[in-house]
Amino acid sequence: MTHKDTMVGLFKTARGPGNLALRDAPVPSPAPNEALIEIQASGICGTDIHIKHDEFPYWPPVILGHEFSGVIIEVGKEVTGFRVGDRVVGEPHTRACGKCYLCRTGNIQICAQKRSPGWGIHGAFARYLTMPEHLLHLIPAAMSFEEAAVVEPAANVVQDVIERGRVEPNEFVVINGPGPIGLMAVMAAKLAGAGTIVMVGASVDEEKRLPLARELGADEVIVADKQDAVARVMELTNGRGADLVVECSGAAPAVKASVQMLRKLGRITAIGLTGKPEIAFPWDVAMSKVLTVLFNMSTGYTCWDRTIGLIASGKMPVRKIISHVEPLANWEPTFEQVESKRALKALLIP
């Protein structure tokens, strides 16, 4: 072992808004079924911002960060599928129980006992992380560690838009919210064969995010605080409505508009959290349209290798959404850039 006994991690130190600080922590040792990973890059997620503001469950003191890439530097004695030197990413479903009906039906990602890196157990905003072997995926040599650190959010999008949202060739797809998830949803809808892709944002997005949405394949952008998004979608579809809305914003007005802009038998695939206990929803309109609403949380197994392949082949050009790559020591201004929407996907390098 050549590494030191301690490392610096970005901790949520205690309950309450704020309470983020760099602290020393012991370097973890891998259990027999685990690998010790030296983190090369880790992404700041909306969840990390929610934890900062006490809007997502967590167990402090805990090192944040669950989107990561790294290199295996040690393996436990039961590990057979990976070896030292392997470049990997990992599914953040640690400590799923393996016994409940969700685990037994292959849904470990929503097991009630799950404690993921970054909120339930120590995460990836540090130099080292241990992960169980069964949650790891190899990344190809040609994929950069920066791109690989975006696999986890990209896998959410591939699952929610392609696997569950089931984009069909030539469908009319509306995406609410041009953050990193929404922009990757443009990529996913495009490669799944969508005919027309419309991105809905706000005037705050006009400088950077909406032009990038166009560059990535959006056919039309709508600035919702300047024009009537529902009316524009109806105009573009000759009064029929959209086939699929991908709701990435978590904004209550956008959720309402999603129902109104869909055709009968249309679909909503929901990715954005509102951060509120409840919001108003036009139930009877959704009923009369016989809509399908798909709620999504975390990632199943199938989307991971699919996403790695799509990024490696260039079909999902995730590098275009990486706006900041900063050392861990610069976490505070980087978080501020993400929260103020001046950043897209920001990575921290421990």
- Domain 6-138+317-349 adopts which CATH fold? Quinone Oxidoreductase; Chain A, domain 1 (3.90.180)
The rounded distance, in Å, linking the Cα atoms of 124 and 222 is 36
Q: How many CB atoms lie within 10 A of CB 91?
A: 25
Residues 322-335: what's their mean pLDDT? 98
Three-class secondary structure of residue 168 per DSSP: coil
pLDDT, residue 55, reads 87
Tell me the average pLDDT across 34-42. 98
Helices first, then strands: H and E counts in the chain: 11, 16
Q: Where in the chain is the domain with CATH 3.90.180.10?
A: 6-138+317-349
pLDDT over 80 (residue 321): yes
DSSP annotation of 5 reads S
Residue 344: per-residue pLDDT = 95
SS3 270: strand
Is residue 233 within 8 A of residue 262, CB to CB? The reply is no
Is the pLDDT score of 252 beyond 60? yes
Q: What angle do CA 99, 117, 153 make, to 5 degrees?
A: 100
Question: Which of 66, 34, 41 lies closest to 148, judged by CA?
Answer: 41
Q: Which residues, in sequence order, are CB contacts of 278 under 8 Å at separation 6+?
A: none
Mean pLDDT value of segment 208-226: 98
Surface-to-core class of residue 99, CB atoms within 10 Å of its CB (0-12 exposed, 13-18 middle, 19+ buried)? exposed
CATH 3.40.50.720 residue spans of the chain:
155-295
Cα(220)–Cα(343) distance, integer angstroms: 22
Q: Counting Cβ atoms within 10 Å, is residue 278 exposed (0-12), middle (13-18) or buried (19+)?
A: exposed
Return the axis-axis angle of helices 252-261 and 229-236, rounded to nearest 10°: 30
Confidence at residue 63, expressed as pLDDT on a 0 to 100 scale: 98
**Angle ∠(274,246,51) on CA atoms, nearest 5:** 30
d(CA 173, CA 85): 42
**pLDDT above 90 for 2:** no
Q: CA-based Rg of the chain, rounded to a whole angstrom?
A: 20
Residue range 51-109, pLDDT digits in tens:
999 988 999 999 999 999 999 999 999 999 999 999 999 999 999 999 999 999 999 99
pLDDT band at 1 (very low <50, low <70, confident <90, very high): very low
Residues 147-174 have pLDDT tens digits of 999 999 999 999 999 999 999 999 999 9
What residue type is assigned to position 271 of the chain? I
State which CATH number among 3.40.50.720, 3.10.129.10, 3.40.50.920, 1.10.3720.10 fits the domain covering 155-295. 3.40.50.720
Name the DSSP class of 298.
Answer: S
Rounded CA gap, 303 and 155, in Å? Answer: 5
For 104-149, the three-class secondary structure string (H helix, E strand, C coil) is: HCCCHHHCCCCCCECCCECCCCCCEEEEEHHHEEECCCCCCHHHHC
Q: What is the mean pLDDT of residues 234-250?
A: 98
**Token couple for 88:** 């990997």
pLDDT mean across residues, the chain: 97
The pTM is what?
0.95
**How far is the C-alpha of 243 from the C-alpha of 225, rounded, in Å?**
23
Tell me the average pLDDT across 269-283. 94
pLDDT at 346 over 70: yes
Q: Residue 3 — very low, low, confident or very high, per pLDDT cuts 50/70/90?
A: low
- pLDDT over threshold 60, residue 201: yes
Which structure tokens are listed for 271? 């990715």
d(CA 170, CA 90): 33
